Amino acid sequence: MRDLLMIPGPVEFEQEVLQALGAPSYGHTDPAFIAIFGRALKRLRDVSLAPGAQPFVVSGSGTLAMELAVANLVEPGDAALVVNTGYFSDRMAKILERHGAKVTHVRAPPGDAPTVEEVETHLKRGGFKVMTVTHVDTSTGVLTPVEGLSRVARELGVLSVVDGVCATAGESFHQDAWGADVYLTASQKAVGVPPGLALLTVGPRALEAWKKRRVPVASVYSDWAEWLPIMEAYEAGKPAYFATPPVNLVCALDVSLGQILAEGLEARFARHQRLARAFRAAWSGLGLRMLPVSEAVTANTLSAVYYPEGVDASLVGRVKAEGVVVAGGLHPDLKARYFRVGHMNRVGPADLLTTVGAVERALRAAGHRCEPGAGLAAAEASLTAR
């Protein structure tokens, strides 16, 4: 029997999405596929709540989505501010530096996020072209105040790039209303599609900055100039070619985005929040402490939880022996001290209770003292509370 996959991506996927992935392939210029791709592009714009943005769907990982944003907006010598909340903020800085940016970090201790006021103070010193924010850092489970950060960057004339890989379709985000210039993500988390797609919605200010570049984009594959005509053609119902798209993944994306929009974005955000609260209640009931330092900076798409005293990283294997796959730590300073549980996309109460039960049994087998059933009782109480 297959284990329940409860890591922060890839996640459990809807059967209809997997059926689309396993269906016979279309040719990439087949009229039927052109219609599907065009619809997926429109739906991506809707999911980002960005009616004025240009969507991009490109074969690749979330890291490619990060590079697709940076490579087109940054030129050698440009100043960039990284709002740093963990491992993937560091990765964004590495990409910025590789493309010639001069990077300044605004950091918080692991488990916390810089405040809007701290970031605003740095931005007001002037000279920054780009600010990057990790909406939810998968390494720490930290949620940033992305609305306030996007708004202050817009007010100060700085382009904002928001990494939504572990947030899109799970955490509240309103790209146009909040003034974010680029929202990037990947397919394998709350978007609900197996790994392999880099996704962006690029606003008018970012496109205008790209058009004013002084030097060509260094990477051919990452250059919006190669991809923009393709995206525009597919959305207009016309064939186009630069590189062969991952046909079945695009079909699966169209199905998943349709399901997300049918659920309703606000309802989906609320569902993720409700489940996350129940998970947090369960961890507390088991006597566990989370890595995020406060409710305000705690993500709804995953839990990052410290091992209790006397329990080490072998807990991850013990949980798997109970039929549930969770992830170990990732932040380089803390990776041996905590584990992570993903709870996004199709995850529901049954998955939650199965996971909490597996973690509780694994903890008790590892020697942790907790009241039998305490985690499950706390989760159920949270789920039924009004």
- One-character DSSP codes across 156-201: TT-EEEEE-TTTTTTS---HHHHT-SEEEEESSSTT-S-S-EEEEE
Separation between Cα atoms, residue 161 and residue 66, nearest integer Å: 9
Q: Which residues of 215-249 are buried (b: 16+ CB within 10 A; e: fewer)?
A: eebebebbbbeebbebbebbbeeeebebeebbbbb
pLDDT band at 309; cut points 50, 70, 90: very high
Q: Which two tokens stand for residue 35?
A: 């219609």
What are 181-237's pLDDT values in tens digits? 999 999 999 999 999 999 999 999 999 999 999 999 999 999 999 999 999 999 999
DSSP-derived secondary structure for 30-97: -HHHHHHHHHHHHHHHHHTT-TTSEEEEEES-HHHHHHHHHHHH--TT-EEEEEE-SHHHHHHHHHHH
Q: In this model, does residue 386 exceed pLDDT 80?
A: no
Whether residue 128 has pLDDT greater than 90: yes
- Average pLDDT over the chain reads 97
> Which residues lie below 8 Å from residue 114, measured CB to CB, with a gap of 6+?
83, 84, 85, 106, 107, 108, 144
Ordered domains of the chain (ranges, CATH): 4-8+264-384 (3.90.1150.10), 15-263 (3.40.640.10)
Q: Are 280 and 300 contacting, i.e. CB atoms less than 8 angstroms apart?
A: no
| Residue 340 labelled as part of a binding site | yes
Cα 286 from Cα 210, distance rounded (Å): 50
Give yes or no for residue 385 having a pLDDT over 90.
no
From residue 326, how far is each of 96, 169, 375 by CA, in Å? 31, 21, 16
- Residue 238 — φ and ψ, nearest 5°? -120, 150
Q: What would the pLDDT profile of 82-104 be if each residue is shown by its tens digit?
A: 999 999 999 999 999 999 999 99
**Position 1 pLDDT exceeds 90:** no
